Structure 1
Amino acid sequence: MNHIDARRQLLRYLASSPLFAALPSISLAQSYDVLRAQTKKIGDIIDSPEDALDVFDFEPAARKALPPAHYGYLATGVDGDATLRANSEDYAKVRIKASRLIDARKIDTRMHLFGLEYASPIFLSPVSSQGAFHADAEIAVARAARKKGMHMILSTVGNSAIADVSKEHGSPVWLQLYPTDDWGVTMALIRKAEAAGTPALVLTVDRQGGRNTQTLFRLRRNDDRTCIACHGGGFANEVSRKPMFQGVDVSKVTNLYGTGMTWEFVNKLRNSTKMKILLKGIMTAEDAEKAVRAGVDGIIVSNHGGRAEESLQSTISALPAVVKAVDGKVPVLVDGGVRRGTDVYKALALGATAVGIGRPYCWGLAAFGQPGVEAVLSILQREFETIMRQAGPTSLKQITAASVISGLQA
Structure 2
Amino acid sequence: MEPERTAGTHDPDPSQAAGSAEPRMIARRRLLKFLAASPLVATPTVASAIASLLASAPGQALAQNYDVLRASRRALGPDGIITAPGDALNVFEFEPAAKKAVLSQDAPAHWGYLESGVDGDVTRDANHTAYQRYSLRVKRLIDARKVDSSVKVFGETWGSPIFICPVSSLGAYEPEAGVAVARAVGKRKHQMILSTVDNASIADVNKALGSPAWFQLYPTDDWAVTQALVNCAEAAGSPAIVLTVDRQGGRNTEDLFRARRLDQRDCTACHTPGFANDVSRKANFFDIDVSKVTNLYGTGMTWESVDRLRGIVKGKLLLKGIMTGDDAKQALSHGVDGILVSNHGGRAEESGQATIGVLAEVVDAVDGRIPVLVDGGVRRGTDVLKALALGATAVGIGRPYVWGLASFGEAGVDRVLEILGAEFVTIMRQVGALNIKEITRGNVTSAL
TM-score norm. by structure 1 comes to: 0.94
Residue 40 to residue 188, structure 1, CA distance change in 2 (3 Å): closer
Q: Find the partner of 2:91 among 47, 55, 78.
A: 55
| In structure 2, C-alpha distance between the alignment counterparts of 1:65 and 1:14, rounded to whole Å | 27
Deviation sequence 1:29-56 (CA, Å, 0-9, x none): 9444322346364242111101111000
- Paired residue type of 1:62: A
1:4 aligns with 2:40: no
CA contact (8 A) 2:220 2:293 kept: yes
1:40 and 1:200 mapped to 2: Cα distance? 40
**Following the alignment from structure 1 to structure 2, what is the Cα–Cα distance between the partners of residues 29 and 57?**
16
> Tell me, what secondary structure is at the counterpart of 1:305?
coil
Tell me if 1:36 matches 2:36: no
Cα RMSD of the aligned pairs, angstroms, is: 2.0
5 Å-filtered alignment, 1:257-276, equals 257-276=297-316
Query: Per the alignment, in what secondary structure is the counterpart of residue 334 of structure 1?
Result: strand
Matched, 1:380 2:414: no
Matches of 1:170 and 1:246, distance apart in 2: 23
SS class of match (1:382): helix
Larger Rg: 2
Using the size of structure 2 for normalisation, the TM-score is 0.86
What CA distance in whole angstroms lies between the structure 2 residues aligned with 1:34 and 1:145?
28
Which residue does the alignment assign to 1:403? 443
Shift of 1:4: 3.1
Q: Pick the aligned partner of 2:215 from 150, 161, 175.
A: 175
More deviation, 225-234/160-169: 225-234
State yes or no: 1:108 paired with 2:131. no
CA distance in 2, matches of 1:27, 1:102: 18
What is the CA distance between 1:5 and its match in structure 2?
3.9
8 Å CA contact 1:284–1:321 kept in 2: the answer is: yes
Instruction: Find the counterpart in structure 1 of residue 356 from structure 2.
Output: 316
CA distance in 1, matches of 2:229, 2:29: 54
Once the two structures are TM-superposed, the CA of residue 197 in structure 1 deviates from its matched residue by: 1.0
* Equivalent in the alignment of 1:232: 272
Q: Secondary structure at the match of 1:257?
A: coil
Any idea what SS the aligned residue of 2:296 has?
coil
1:351 maps to which of 368, 391, 407: 391
Aligned-pair CA distance for 1:78:
0.1
Matched AA of 1:34? V
Instruction: Name the SS for the 2:69 alignment partner.
Output: helix
Q: Contact (CA 8 Å) 1:28, 1:105: kept in 2 or not?
A: no
Structure 2's unaligned 5+ residue stretches are 1-26, 37-48
**Cα distance between partner residues in 1 of 2:31 and 2:280:** 50
Q: Deviations over 1:130-176 (max 9, x none)?
A: 00111121111000001111010000001101111001101000100
Range with bigger deviation, 44-53 or 173-182: 44-53
Q: 1:181 to 1:128 in 2, by over 3 A?
A: same
| Mapping 1:3-402, distance limit 5 Å | 4-6=30-32, 12=52, 30-37=64-71, 39=73, 41-43=75-77, 44-66=80-102, 67-402=107-442
C-alpha distance in structure 2 between counterparts of 1:184 and 1:123, whole Å: 30
Structure 1 residues 229 and 385: alpha-carbon distance in aligned structure 2, compared to 1, 3 A threshold = same
Distance 1:158 1:288 in 2: 28
Distance 1:59 1:190, change over 3 A: same
Task: Report the CA distance shift for 1:38/1:264 in structure 2 as closer, same or farther (over 3 A).
Answer: closer
Change (3 A) 1:253 1:34: same
Q: Measure how far apart 1:356 and its partner are.
A: 0.1
Instruction: Tell me, in whole angstroms, the C-alpha distance in 1 between the residues paired with 2:196 and 2:209.
Output: 17
Identity of aligned residues (%): 62
DSSP-derived class of the 2:215 partner: strand
Q: How far does residue 72 in structure 1 lie from its aligned partner after superposition?
A: 0.5
Contact residue 179 and residue 186 of structure 1 kept, 8 A = yes
- AA at the equivalent of 1:176: Q
Q: Deviations over 1:284-328 (max 9, x none)?
A: 000000001101100000000000100000000010000000000
Q: AA paired with 1:181?
A: D
Q: Is the 8 A contact 1:27 1:105 kept in 2?
A: no
Contact 2:137 2:431 in 1 (8 A): yes
How far has the Cα of 1:225 moved from its partner?
Answer: 0.9
1: distance between equivalents of 2:314 and 2:178?
25
Contact 2:50/2:72, CA 8 A, preserved across alignment? no
Distance 1:256 1:196, change over 3 A: same
Q: Which 5+ residue runs of structure 1 have no aligned equivalent?
A: none
Cα deviation per residue 1:321-358 (whole Å; 9 max; x = unaligned)? Answer: 00000000000000000000000000000000000000
Query: Given the superposition, is the C-alpha separation of residues 225 and 121 from structure 1 closer, same or farther in structure 2, using an over 3 Å criterion?
Result: same
Whether the aligned pair in 2 keeps the contact of 1:338 and 1:357 (CA below 8 Å) is yes
The Cα shift of 1:16 comes to 5.8
Q: Is the 8 A contact 1:79 1:214 kept in 2?
A: yes
In 2, are the aligned partners of 1:4 and 1:33 still within 8 Å (CA)?
no
Shift, 1:27, TM fit: 6.0
**Residues 38/273 of structure 1: CA separation in 2 closer, same or farther (3 Å cut):** closer
